[in-house]
Each structure stands twice: as C-alpha cells, then as structure tokens.
Structure 1
C-alpha cells in the first residue's frame, strides 16, 4: 500500500468549527491530518452564527448527551488554548416565560433536564429581574442554566487552526473536493469516483479525494471525514453515501455597542419548540444576547429556502419587534447591521456522526443545524475515537449515517 506512504491518515472536508474539531481530536490521537476547504477558513455557517454552547435548549436524549460531553471538552480546550484567546465566556443562559402555561411547561422541561445531568434552576420573576435588570416586567418566571457558555466562533476556529498548524496539520483553503478515490479491490489499485451526475458510486472503500488544488490534485488517505456543513449532503452523494442535510436560513440583527445591558443568553421558552420543528416555513422566536464587544445580537429565524441569501425586511422587522417584548429598552437602540447564514438541517434533528457502512473509509460529521458550535468538540472526539478504534464516549447508533435509508426501507 505504498500510495499511503507520506500521505495523511485522515482528510477532513470542511474548515468550519466542526471540521476544526475533527482535525484537532484526530491530531491529538496521533493521526496525520489534512483539511480541505472550498472557501476560506470558518467562512460558512461558522461565520454567521452566535457561538452558543448550550444545554438549555435540548431535551433529554442523544443530543443532550452529546452537548454535555462537548461542554466539558470546551472547558478543557479553553484551559489549554486560553479562554481569552477564544472569547470563551461561561456567562450562563436564561429562559423566560411570560405566561403561567409557558412557565409550567418550562418547569417540566427543567425537571427532565436535571434528571439527565443538567444544572437547571427554576426561578421566579424577581430572580429573573435580578439576573437581567432590563428584562420585561411581564415575565412570570424562568429557568437559569449556569452551564451555558459562548465563544466567538470565527476567532475560536482561527485559534484552533493556528494550534493545528503548529502540530503539523496541513490546511488547504480555496480547495474543492471534486471526487473520491475508491479501492477497486484488485492488487490495491485505486479507481477514480467522480460521482457522475452528482450521484456518486457505491463501490469499494474510500481511499482519498481528488481536489482542485494544483499542488494536491490527489490526496490519498485511509479515512475521509465529511464535515462540509450545509454542503455535506452533496459531498455524501459524491461518495455514493447521501445524507439528507439541507440548508436552513436564519437572520441575526446586531445593535450598536452598549454597556453591559444583556448579561446572559436570554430567550423565550418558545425557542426550544422552534429548534425542534421540521416545518419548512418561516419560524421566529426571541433570542437576545450581549457580546464582549458591547453589541447585542438578536435572533432567531428559521426557514428552508435553499441557498437563497436574499435579505428579508419583513423577517428582520419581526425579529426586532419580538426582541422588544423581552427587552423593551431596545426600542431606543440603533441597529448596525444584519447578517444571514445557513444551518445544516437534518429532518430528525440529530447530527450525522460516524462511519458510513455504504462507503468504508468515509465518516460524516454534519447536520448539527444551529448547535454545531456547541456540539463540535464532542463530534470531533467521537470521530477520532471511531477512526482509531477506541471506545466512543457515547452510543453512536442514534447518529449513524445510514439511519435514513433504514427508515425508508
């Protein structure tokens, strides 16, 4: 197998925070890693999100288990690289309820979360106001989550890749994957699978990728990780192993810099329901948080419209109006800008993590939707442990890549 001599052990497709996490943990495991990115580092979903590392918005189950592992790994990474260098903040999350019915539902959720290991504290209206003095007085209660934290996602991605380059990881931005090398099974020769018509091939094991890089048109590797975010469905299809990951558009408003007027990530209890919804139409809920720079971020919207980046004024107005119901003082604050991004949506709301039996050698790390920043480090660790044959920290069966074919069989 001389074609692997001097080649990386692992090629990671995608240089967002999930791809960075996969490369980081593979490198820690002693594997040689090359990262291939079609655009700039961290320029996709990573560049258009808020950097949340949340437990509060997850019901008990596989995703919450993944989030608990990832929250611990984020704390460890911040200690290794430096919390300030990542803008890692353990500021906590606050969920507010403005009706008795919503408050009751929230208490039921927190009780279940505490049973799963989350530090979820039920609080009354006075305690909500003490945590957030500028919150609406219409609040009847809420829940406080001291484990919720946040990073600056682009900065964290850049710092991780800086760390990885020092460890010898090769990073190839501006490089697109155009096909996969597949093991033909005869004398170890590779054949080229370019995925004609975008449908790919279900032939032999994946043994590397073809790229647009003039200096690296062919990269041999025993393992390829699909961490291409909203494009990972296309990458999977190219390898003959499709996964139903689709873009889900969202907008975020950014205010002028302010004093420390919003201390936590604050959202309404309805946000959890919207995260779990599979509706393709527009859904909005109130999410407000401050940043270290003093700006306030306002979201959140969700809709499946393909890769349409058109700025929608009606959606922006709705987000602004909803934010005023939680923080009325924002009516006197100027907006600086708004930005749009796409979350990698999966129809069952669980990410796709692990080896794909339809294409041995291929692993997926995608479909996290709006939770990719928070779940990235656990995802990377699980990928690395799968590749090295180590015991995974969690049961990977709920995240298996071929589960969608099983559901339709």
Structure 2
C-alpha cells in the first residue's frame, strides 16, 4: 500500500487490542498512527493478569477466535523487535479443578474437545502431581496444555515498538474527541491536539469505546465491568500452572450485574502469585471494596490452603469492555465508511488480541478472513445502541 505523510489508519487506544491491531496493520504495510489520552497500556491492559486461555470458553465463535489467537501469538511474537521480544511469555498450561460434582466440568471439557481444544480429564491424583499444593478436596481436574500467560504491559508496549520500527507513530496524551466526515466517510479524527487527517479510524478504546462511538455519532453498547486482583509477596515456586476452579467458566459467561467471584491462581516470573477474579457491573466506580478482596482471598485459600499464611502486597483492579452478548466487536461500522471498531473482549482481550488484529487487517485489506467475522459484526442487535 502506498505510504504518505497522512496515516491510512488512526488507532484510538494504545492498550493491548489497539496495539495488536496497529501491529498487524503495520506488518501488512498499512501506515498507522496510534493515539491515546494517557499512554501505552495505561488502562485495562495494565489491570489484567495476562491470560491467554482456550480453557474458559464454550464451543462457539469466541472459542474459535481464541484457538486462532493462541496460534497467532506465536506468529506475532516472532515479529517483535529483538530488544523488546521478551514479554514474559509462559506456555505453562492450565489446570481447572472441581471440588464438588465432577460431571459439569468433565461435560464442558468434552464439548471443547469437539471444537478441537486439547482438554485432558485428570484424576485427583494426577491433579496433585501437576499441583502438589492443591486442596485435597479436588474431585476431578482438566489439564489444558495450550493455556499460556504473558506480561500484558510488556506485550502491548512491544507491539507498539514494532509499529514504530515500521515507520508508524504512537502519540501519548492525545484525546480523540470525534471523527470528521466528508460524503459519508471518515476523512479525519478530531483530537485535543488538533485535527488529524486519515483514511480510517479504529475505535480500540476498551471500556470507553461506547463513549467514543457516541462522540463519533455511531453509538455502540460496550459497558465497563470491573475486576480485582490480589498480589502476594514473592515466593519460591509453588503454583506451576494457571489454576482455577470450575466456577470461573460460569462467571465469564454470566451477564449478572451483581458481584461474582471465582478462583484463579497463578505465579509470575518474579515469584509473586496473582489471585483473581471478580466481576462486577458498577459503571466506572473505582472504589476499593474490602468485601471483594476478602472473597477473593477466602476462595483462593480454599483452592490452595498454603496461601492462608502468605502476605498480600497489594491489590489492583480495572474496567473491562463488556458487550451484552459476551462477544467482541470487531469490524467496520456500516453507518460511516472508514470507521472501525475492535473492543468488547472483556477479560479475554490479552488472549484474543493477535487474532483480532489479524481479522481487522484482513477485512481492511479485503483479504479472506481466517475466522468467520460475522458473529463479531458491529451492526448486530446486542451492540447497536438505541
């Protein structure tokens, strides 16, 4: 594609999704400018655990996107510039356990296997071999070797470094205020730093994507859903995989506005243990709620009793972009030519980012998509705000 001083695409949002889309577009020769009102990875991306999961999704469009994205992560990592290539990628695998009736978990794993996911049902004894410090109340487990983990801030900033290395730009402290149109198509974006001429605009604003869509005259139904995480003091190796209880799958797929918690425990390269997760639809209220932290700690101790004697260093949280039908929004907006959206991934944005970037790029360039884009279209009933 011909390059000029005017960017082909302005990506609004320098979090993981915006960075992955910008990286994929720039790798295909598209001239990209990324803008963010704060800076790279300063919002939702910085408040995540770095999950790259295929284990928590039922068969359907999102699981197809997750499987494709897991493979695409390997491709994207190979494209990163050497100085920033270490993004703390760990192909550690996941272990999901039940402490009650084993049937729902084993049935879920069987459904996933029909969709091509490697999901090996294991006995309690096998679960203890993988994770010796688990509670003895485990009744069954499922091992997912394809689950992985990445340091999300390192990953997003590395993707943006790749964009810069190809001649793209990243501008921090620039707030997008709306779009400029001529003849029903995008010709620029209005920002706090002045107007920027461009051929297309990509809304990758995460939980704030709905607000930007409204400002652009194309409202979409993307809402914030808050999550909290506890961080322990550094420990010797104690949790070898990404481990969570069977309730996590139900919480991921729930649209309930009330507080939901389920146990997710994993170690980081630095030795700390991350404990999640909570989901709560409370708007953009960032008040720290002690009851949420207590519930996370209580459930984590139930899964790994040794954590009862481990100090917690800090807690952090953030807002995740939530679409009412639990599917991301990926594609062009039929109401304005040249306006695109990539948002609504909720807590799965880190894992789904590479496939999202590839899918946006394929559609932008008119290439055959590697996954069916129809379920993620912008004009579906659950997303178009009225």
Q: Same fold (TM over 0.5)?
A: yes
Taking the aligned partners of 1:373 and 1:406, their CA distance within structure 2 comes to 21
2:310 pairs, out of 330, 333, 339, with 333
Q: Which residue of 1 aligns with 2:98?
A: 97
Q: Which residue of 1 aligns with 2:179?
A: 180
Q: CA deviation at 1:107?
A: 1.1
Taking the aligned partners of 1:40 and 1:218, their CA distance within structure 2 comes to 19
> Within the alignment, does 1:112 sit opposite 2:89 as a pair?
no
- Write out aligned runs for 1:259-278 (5 A): 259-278=236-255
Taking the aligned partners of 2:178 and 2:359, their CA distance within structure 1 comes to 25
Q: Which residue of 2 aligns with 1:87?
A: 88
Q: CA deviation at 1:238?
A: 1.4
> Within the alignment, does 1:211 sit opposite 2:191 as a pair?
yes
> Within the alignment, does 1:257 sit opposite 2:247 as a pair?
no
Taking the aligned partners of 1:56 and 1:84, their CA distance within structure 2 comes to 26
Taking the aligned partners of 1:382 and 1:333, their CA distance within structure 2 comes to 43
Does the 8 Å contact 2:52/2:148 carry over to 1?
yes
Q: Which residue of 2 aligns with 1:143?
A: 142
Secondary structure of the 1:353 match is strand
Q: Which consecutive residues of structure 2, in runs of 5 or more, have no partner in the other structure? A: none
Normalising by structure 2, report the TM-score.
0.96
Q: Which residue of 1 aligns with 2:210?
A: 233
Taking the aligned partners of 1:332 and 1:260, their CA distance within structure 2 comes to 15
Does the 8 Å contact 1:90/1:147 carry over to 2?
yes
Q: Which residue of 1 aligns with 2:68?
A: 69
Q: Which residue of 2 aligns with 1:193?
A: none
Taking the aligned partners of 1:5 and 1:160, their CA distance within structure 2 comes to 22
Does the 8 Å contact 1:223/1:387 carry over to 2?
no
Structure with higher Rg: it is: 1
Runs of 4 or more consecutive aligned structure 1 residues displaced over 6 Å after TM superposition: 405-409
- Write out aligned runs for 1:292-307 (5 A): 292-307=269-284
Deviations 1:199-218 (A, max 9, x none): xxxxx1122201112xxx11
Secondary structure of the 2:231 match is strand
Taking the aligned partners of 1:78 and 1:9, their CA distance within structure 2 comes to 24
Q: Which residue of 2 aligns with 1:400?
A: 377
Change (3 A) 1:84 1:356: closer
Does the 8 Å contact 1:239/1:359 carry over to 2?
no
What is the root-mean-square deviation of aligned Cα atoms in Å? 1.5
Q: CA deviation at 1:75?
A: 1.6
Taking the aligned partners of 1:93 and 1:255, their CA distance within structure 2 comes to 20
Normalising by structure 1, report the TM-score.
0.91
Deviations 1:54-76 (A, max 9, x none): 00000000000000111001122
Q: Which residue of 2 aligns with 1:371?
A: 348
Change (3 A) 1:129 1:253: same
Q: Which consecutive residues of structure 1, in runs of 5 or more, have no partner in the other structure? A: 186-203
Does the 8 Å contact 1:255/1:297 carry over to 2?
yes
Secondary structure of the 2:381 match is helix
Taking the aligned partners of 2:77 and 2:29, their CA distance within structure 1 comes to 21
Q: Which residue of 2 aligns with 1:355?
A: 332
Q: CA deviation at 1:405?
A: 6.5
Q: CA deviation at 1:6?
A: 2.3
